[in-house]
Amino acid sequence: MKFRIAAFADEAASDLNGQIASMKKNGIKLLEIRGVDGENVADLSKQKAGEIRKRLDDEGIGVWSIGSPFGKIGIGDDFASHLDSFKHTLETAYILGCRHFRLFSFYGTSDTAPVLERLADFIDAAKGSGIILCHENEKGIYGDTADKCLEIHKSLPQLRAIFDPANFIQCGQETKAAWDMLSPYVEYMHIKDALADGSVVPAGKGDGELGYLLGRYKGDVLTVEPHLSVFNGLEELEAGQRSQIVKYAYPDSQTAFSAAVDALKELIGG
């Protein structure tokens, strides 16, 4: 297989045991850690992080990236405490043996200067850590479209890009054009696809042009981020006439997780 697959396994299960089980079932050996046992990765104690590391090591699973929430606050919110929490999570990344760290570019502004100032503070805090900071194009933040992302990366070349096709689709951004603009900065990809109405579908089933993107992607790691609908009444509905509205809805989170992984494997020939 050309690519290595990582995953947001908290979409399969909230607890670490369930995440490990789902990853092993789907042949995934890399975790993008976001939430474990009801705690956000930013809130993990050093002791808890060490326990997680030992368990993952025992299972042959590595942590690819910290799926952090940093930069996902309003531009006018308390940044000092946010930065302190960021510094703590850098230590968590070290304990987990992780080199990548996902972050965002703030809500509530179209003004470039304060965004760049705060992102530069993150970069300064991470100097010497060996951690690669990566900006994700998230709907509604400053850097949600390709032109805004390009502005960030040109100004702060130390900050790498996470390319999320579905997030671009949800912002009305055509992904091929976004890729042409941002590909020199892309560190890795989040694998999530969407239709024009914004609904998330399995990879290759939406308007994200994932086949095109994967053919041009120079990295080797792809993080599956399912975001697929879990519909508890699906089995009862399918006993009658199935609706197109729930074409990509699943009876539980583990099934949805496996469907997202299978769709990616089909695309890459895994």
DSSP-derived letter for residue 187 is E
Interval 127-153: pLDDT, tens: 999 999 999 999 999 999 999 999 999
Report the amino acid identity of residue 218: K
5, exposed or middle or buried, with CB in 10 Å at 0-12, 13-18, 19+? buried
Segment among 3-7, 196-200, 266-270 with least mean pLDDT: 266-270
Interval 78-113: pLDDT, tens: 999 999 999 999 999 999 999 999 999 999 999 999
pLDDT on residue 236: 47
- SS3 assignment, position 131: coil
DSSP-derived letter for residue 204 is T
Token pair of 140 as six digits: 């509604």
Report the amino acid identity of residue 148: K
Alpha-carbon radius of gyration of the chain: 18
Provide the whole-model pTM: 0.94
Domains by residue range for the chain, with CATH: 4-227 (3.20.20.150)
Q: How far apart are CA 47 and CA 34, in angstroms?
A: 17
Our separate counts of H helices and E strands in the chain read 10, 14
3-state helix, strand, coil in the chain (%, to 5): 45, 20, 35
DSSP-derived letter for residue 244 is G
* Maximum separation of any 2 CA atoms in the chain, in Å: 60
